[in-house]
Amino acid sequence: MKKITIANIPGDGIGKEVVPAATEVLNTIAAIHGGLKFEFTEFPWSCEYYLEHNQMMPDDGMERLQDFDGIFLGAVGNIKLVPDHVSLWGLLIKIRREFEQVINIRPAKVMKGVKSPLANAKDFDLIIVRENSEGEYSEIGGKIYRGEDELAIQNAVFSRKGTERAMQHAFHLASKRKKRVTSATKSNGITYSMPFWDSVFEDVSKGHPEISTDSQHIDALSAFFVTHPERFDVIVASNLFGDILSDLGAGIMGSIGIAPSANINVNGKYPSMFEPVHGSAPDIVGKGIANPIGQIWTAKMMLDHFGEEELGNTLLDVIESVTGDGFLTADLGGKHSTKEVTDEIINELKKID
């Protein structure tokens, strides 16, 4: 029996609704497999936890997570309770950084039965590889003066190691796909970090002559996501650009509610973390209408990560057959509840067994 231990952190808002749904799906899949078992342990760390403890996780929080095989996160943040930069840097970004989850992978594709807002959404199927540990999200910066002379400075920090690592990962993924990597840059406007990014991309490209490459400025690239998303295969981007492109990717798919992501620890020292792209959506909490697909597709990425790619692909096929059959939550223009969509996915999975 292959046992995989998972730390569940539902977090805030709809995270608490979709994590249980996806956990049920994972248990179903383990049962189908027969020789696979997930062991889930839940941690209640969230903005509500913060109100009680004045921190997003206990002092020994990271130690307690350390020995799990993976972390399955819902959503973090509720500005009505805790400022975003406190909740996110105290939990989500803290885990990404301290567990050296230096790569963030975010696919976007046309999904059966899901209406893209694009009129001519050709069959796009792309993956964004986001550098997840440095770049524009640095902890270096500050302010000087108060009043009319006040000035804030933020350093974007790009190391060759961090940049190369993200790019190598992108080339690796592309070698198993359409063999095409696009680099998101802005070297015409941002004149130190981005020309550096370009030069590392050039170096890394040379090591992969079988992969075709191009560079696009982030402004033009964002527009291309709207006009020609089918042109792309793997896109490698800095922390900020990857953040923007992955929400755009979710947007052109039809809803942020379906987009998954994986935060990968590549050196094997710490667990990786799996979380949907969407946030905690406080406005729809408790209504039972949150889209579970972002979290369930995220479970598929977790299956892939643990070497169960066949099951992962089966799960994605089932998700698409269910959306294709019209089981859609409100964000996709449907009327089905979180539970109805989840149950249908579980039913379809059981049929395969």
Ligand X SMILES: CC(C)[C@H](C(=O)O)[C@@H](O)C(=O)O
Q: How buried is 1 (Cβ within 10 angstroms: 0-12 exposed, 13-18 middle, 19+ buried)? A: exposed
Which does residue 69 bind out of a second copy, ligand X, none, counting CB within 5 to 8 angstroms by kind? none
Least distance from a second copy to the Cβ atom of residue 226, Å: 4
What is the signed CA dihedral for 81, 87, 91, 93, rounded to 10 degrees?
A: 150
Which does residue 89 bind out of ligand X, a second copy, none, counting CB within 5 to 8 angstroms by kind? a second copy
Query: x/- contact string, 178-217, with a second copy (CB under 8 A)?
Result: --------xxxxxxxxxxxx--------------------
Closer residue to a second copy in complex, CB, 94/177: 94
Closer residue to a second copy in complex, CB, 223/352: 223
220 binds a second copy (CB under 8 A): yes
122 binds a second copy (CB under 8 A): no
Which does residue 55 bind out of a second copy, ligand X, none, counting CB within 5 to 8 angstroms by kind? none
Bridge partners of 150?
A: none
Segment interacting with a second copy (CB under 8 A) among 6-14, 37-45, 61-69, 159-167: 159-167
Q: Which of 325, 303, 328 is nearest to 313 (CA)?
A: 303
Q: Among 116, 175, 212, 321, which residue sits at the site for a second copy (rule: CB under 8 A)?
A: 116
325 binds a second copy (CB under 8 A): no
What whole-number distance in Å separates Cα of residue 206 and Cα of residue 202? 6
What whole-number distance in Å separates Cα of residue 248 and Cα of residue 38? 33
What whole-number distance in Å separates Cα of residue 12 and Cα of residue 77? 6
Name residue 164's amino acid: E
What whole-number distance in Å separates Cα of residue 35 and Cα of residue 2? 6
Q: Which tokens go with 63?
A: 């130690």
158 binds a second copy (CB under 8 A): yes
As a whole number of Å, the end-to-end CA separation of the chain is 18
Sign of the CA dihedral running 48, 271, 264, 8: negative
Closer residue to a second copy in complex, CB, 53/85: 85
Q: Which of 221, 202, 226 is nearest to 213 (CA)?
A: 202
Identify whether the C-beta of residue 328 lies closer than 8 Å to the C-beta of residue 336.
Answer: yes
Which does residue 1 bind out of ligand X, a second copy, none, counting CB within 5 to 8 angstroms by kind? none
Helix (H) / strand (E) element for 211: namely none
222 binds a second copy (CB under 8 A): yes
Closer residue to ligand X in complex, CB, 72/327: 72
Least distance from ligand X to the Cβ atom of residue 209, Å: 30
101 binds a second copy (CB under 8 A): no
Please give the residue whose beta carbon sits closest to ligand X in the complex.
Answer: 189
299: CB partners within 8 A, 6+ apart: 22, 25, 26, 29, 72, 274, 315
Q: Which tokens go with 123?
A: 């069959």
Q: Among 252, 303, 316, 332, which residue sits at the site for a second copy (rule: CB under 8 A)?
A: 252
Residue 133, classed as helix, strand or coil, is coil
Which does residue 250 bind out of a second copy, ligand X, none, counting CB within 5 to 8 angstroms by kind? a second copy
151 binds a second copy (CB under 8 A): yes
In the complex, the residues that contact ligand X under the rule CB under 6 A are: 88, 93, 188-189, 219, 243
Q: List residues binding a second copy (CB under 8 A).
A: 77, 84-85, 88-89, 93, 115-120, 136-137, 139, 141-143, 147-161, 186-197, 218-220, 222-227, 239-240, 243-244, 246-248, 250-252, 256, 279
